[in-house]
Amino acid sequence: MNNFKNVWIFAQVQRGRLSPTALELLTAGRKLADSLKEKLCAVLVGYHVEPFVKDLVEHGADVIYVCDAPLLENYVDDVYARVLADLVAQYKPNKFLLPATNLGRSLSAKTAVFVGTGLTADATEVTIHEPDGQLYATRPTFGGNLMATITCKRTRPEMCSLRPMSYEKALAKPGRTGEVIHFAFDAKRHVSAARFIEFIKSGAEGIDLAEAEIIVAGGRGVGKPEGFVLLQKLADRLGGAVAASRAAVDNGWIDYRYQIGLTGRTVKPKLYIACGISGQIQHMAGMSGSDVIVAINKDPQAPIMKAANFAVEGDLYEVIPAMLEELK
């Protein structure tokens, strides 16, 4: 195991855009690398990804591994995973962090299988255990009622997919320099039984939750799918996005992609308006990093009311129309 050195992060690029998760992973990876006194490395795989090298270096990467080829333009998990597995076999990283995005969850699992190592999925915190240098990855378990810390003692690299927004984005240091290592794509070796056919953009409209500075979220108290039309009006008026708790999603009132919480997405808006949401720990884990929380609930004893910066006791079907009228 002494042959395995350095901390790697996977810098996700899709449709010509560097995912913000790359900068979050650089923050987490830097802490690990500094603890181990090793280098922090980023991996870029895709087509026309070379332009992102400078950005990653300025945000903290010491080494960038680049595999850039036309056949990598569209993501196919088997192909990407085989590229990563070959990179791992040749350069032997000690730790490897990937984003727990839809793409990252699939890619990390496939890569771990091809490499023959362990993977902690959907972690929210990573640290180094100083006595032995092991990666300690912590993630929610049993529906968020417990936090489990997981280790991988017998194989390397220790792999982990890290939940988006668990860490702040790394700050840029313009002019910073780093090493670039190019890795050749092998069309005969990096293959898959799957074939890319077509990219179909999601029908979802509006602001992406990951980028929204204002979020209006609804829970069980919304009571019906039509209630989210009212929440959308408030979100539109504020220039924000709509979200939901698991209860609303489970009842079929809104699609899963809007779900916030341990089993959904993590967000950190400047303003989070929780409408008819009780505020159970599973939901709070996904939005507790909000700068300002406003709760609208008929139950003054609901947990969300105690956690909120501003608690409005009342029926959301009366409160929100009043807010809309005031906002005119």
Look at residue 248 and tell me if it is in a domain.
Answer: yes
Q: Is residue 193 part of a domain?
A: no
Mean pLDDT of the chain: 93
Does residue 205 carry a pLDDT above 70?
no
Residues 154 and 273 in one domain: no
Q: Are residues 157 and 13 in the same domain?
A: yes
What average pLDDT does range 219-232 have in this prediction?
Answer: 95
- Same domain, residue pair 29 and 178: yes
**What is the percent of the chain where pLDDT is above 90?**
80
Nearest residue to 16 via CA among 53, 42, 39, 46: 46
Helix (H, G, I), strand (E, B) or coil at 10: strand
Report if residue 196 sits inside a domain. Answer: no
CA proximity to 149, closest of 133, 135, 165: 135
What is the spatial distance between Cα 82 and Cα 248, in angstroms, rounded to a whole number?
Answer: 39
Categorize the per-residue pLDDT at 301 as very low, low, confident or very high, splitting at 50, 70 and 90: very high
User: Residues 196-229, buried b or exposed e (16+ Cβ, 10 A)?
Assistant: eeeeeeeeeeebebbebebbbbbbbbbeeeebbe
Nearest to 148 by CA among 165, 131, 124: 124
Asked if the model's pLDDT at residue 282 lies above 90, the reply is: no
Give residue 272's pLDDT.
Answer: 97
Q: Which of 149, 101, 147 is nearest to 127 (CA)?
A: 149
Look at residue 70 and tell me if it is in a domain: yes
Q: Please give the pLDDT value at position 202.
A: 66
3-class state of residue 63 by DSSP: strand
Residue 83 confidence (pLDDT): 97
Predicted pLDDT of residue 133: 94
SS3 173: coil
Residue 80 maps to a domain:
yes
- Name the token pair of 10: 């996977």
- Whether 166 and 223 map to the same domain: the answer is no
What is the per-residue pLDDT for 166? 87
Structure-block tokens of residue 73: 């333009």
Surface-to-core class of residue 73, CB atoms within 10 Å of its CB (0-12 exposed, 13-18 middle, 19+ buried): middle
* Same domain? 105 vs 14: yes
| 146 band by pLDDT with thresholds 50, 70 and 90 | confident
pLDDT at 311 over 80: yes
- pLDDT over 80 (residue 229): yes
The verdict on residue 207 lying in a domain is: no
C-beta separation of 64 from 44 below 8 A = yes
Q: Quote the CA–CA distance of 291 and 289 in Å, as a whole number.
A: 6
Give the pLDDT confidence of 76-106 residue by residue, as tens digits: 999 999 999 999 999 999 999 999 988 999 9
Considering its fold, how many domains does the chain have in total?
Answer: 2
Domain check: are 152 and 236 in the same one? no
- pLDDT value at 207 more than 80: no
Whether residues 39 and 178 share a domain: the answer is yes
Would you state the structure tokens that stand for residue 69, as one six-digit string?
């080829």
Q: Which domain holds residue 241?
A: 214-327
CATH, residue 297:
3.40.50.1220
- 263: closest CA among 242, 278, 241, 285? 285
150-192 pLDDT tens trace: 999 999 999 999 988 889 999 999 999 999 999 999 999 998 9
Say if strands 95-99 and 134-141 run parallel, antiparallel, or are unpaired: unpaired
- The pLDDT assigned to 141 comes to 79
Per-residue pLDDT at 144: 63
Q: Are residues 154 and 243 in the same domain?
A: no
Q: Is the pLDDT of residue 206 over 80?
A: no
pLDDT score of 261 more than 70: yes
- CA nearest neighbour of 251 among 231, 279, 223: 223
**Residue from 170, 133, 131, 151 nearest 29 by CA:** 170
Contact 241, 251 (CB under 8 A): no
Residues 33 and 170 in one domain: yes
Other CB atoms within 10 Å distance of the CB of residue 191: 13
User: What is the rounded distance in angstroms from the CA atom of residue 202 to the CA atom of residue 23?
Assistant: 24
Closest CA to 272 of 321, 223, 219, 198: 219
Are 170 and 245 within one domain?
no
User: Which pLDDT band holds residue 253 (cuts at 50, 70, 90)?
Assistant: very high
Residue 129 sits in the same domain as residue 271: no
pLDDT at 84 (0 to 100): 97
Q: Mean pLDDT across the stretch 204-214? A: 77
End of a domain among 163, 182, 201? 182
Considering the domain boundaries, does residue 230 fall inside one?
A: yes
CATH number, domain containing residue 11: 3.40.50.620
Collect all residues with Cβ–Cβ distance below 8 Å to 166 and sequence separation of at least 6. Answer: 24, 28, 123, 124, 125, 266
Q: Give the model's pLDDT for residue 289.
A: 84
| 205 domain-assigned | no
Q: Does residue 13 sit in the same domain as residue 134?
A: yes
In the numeric block, which tokens belong to residue 214? 């204002």
